[in-house]
């Protein structure tokens, strides 16, 4: 496949990812506003755990967006058009990016999703036990 087709595909993916990122931010703001409104009706504020979840979720989204954006910068621009590509520093960057950053980003995302499913299942089981008149 010619290099320009690969670059065009990467640009299109970045445009799509940017659209999804923007939509996520709008929906995230909406749901945070709903949570705050729900808590204000109960005369409560966001707990430290709620704030941590908001921070963690947004951090993961930014991390994944940076990973997507780095596909544009990393291969086509640095690897093909830079004098830096023949240096030792570039090899260290390339290896650490491929073997550390990408797996770490995926690992954190998957771990967060697993915790989310665990938390939801635990919450549902607690509600079922309380509904039957038992103790959680």
Matching residue, tokens 């008149």: 133
- pLDDT for 22-74, tens place per residue? 999 999 999 999 999 999 999 999 899 889 989 999 899 988 888 888 877 76
As a residue count, the chain comes to 136
Indicate the DSSP class of residue 120: H
Average pLDDT in the 110-126 region? 89
77 within 8 A of 29, measured Cβ to Cβ = no
* Contact predicate 97/70, CB 8 Å: yes
Question: In the prediction, which pLDDT does 126 show?
Answer: 86
Helix then strand count (H, E) for the chain reads 5, 0
For residues 72 and 10, is the Cβ–Cβ distance under 8 A? yes
> Any residues with CB less than 8 A from the CB of 14 and at least 6 apart, and which?
68, 69, 71, 72
Lowest mean pLDDT among 22-26, 83-87, 113-117, 130-134: 83-87
> Is residue 15 over pLDDT 70?
yes
Contact residues for 48 (Cβ-Cβ < 8 A; gap 6+): none
Instruction: Supply the pTM of this predicted model.
Output: 0.70
What mean pLDDT, rounded, does the chain reach? 83
Buried b (16+ CB within 10 A) or exposed e, 83-93: eeeeeeeeeeb
**CA 12, 30, 11: angle at the middle one, nearest 5?**
5
- Six-digit token string for 134: 């038992």
Share of the chain above pLDDT 70, in %: 85
* pLDDT score of 11: 85
Residue 85 pLDDT: 64
Residue with more model confidence, 10 or 12: 12
């Amino acid at each position: 496949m010619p290099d320009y087709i690969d670059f065009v595909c990467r640009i299109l993916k970045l445009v799509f990812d940017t659209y999804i990122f923007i939509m996520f931010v709008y929906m995230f703001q909406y749901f945070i506003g709903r949570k705050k409104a729900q808590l204000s009706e109960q005369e409560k504020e966001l707990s430290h755990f709620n704030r941590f979840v908001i921070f963690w979720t947004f951090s993961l989204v930014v991390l994944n967006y940076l990973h997507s954006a780095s596909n544009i910068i990393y291969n086509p621009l640095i690897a093909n058009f830079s004098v830096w590509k023949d240096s030792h520093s570039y090899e260290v960057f390339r290896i650490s990016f491929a073997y550390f950053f990408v797996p770490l980003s995926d690992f954190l995302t998957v771990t967060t999703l697993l915790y989310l499913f665990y938390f939801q299942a635990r919450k549902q089981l607690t509600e079922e036990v309380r509904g039957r008149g038992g103790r959680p």
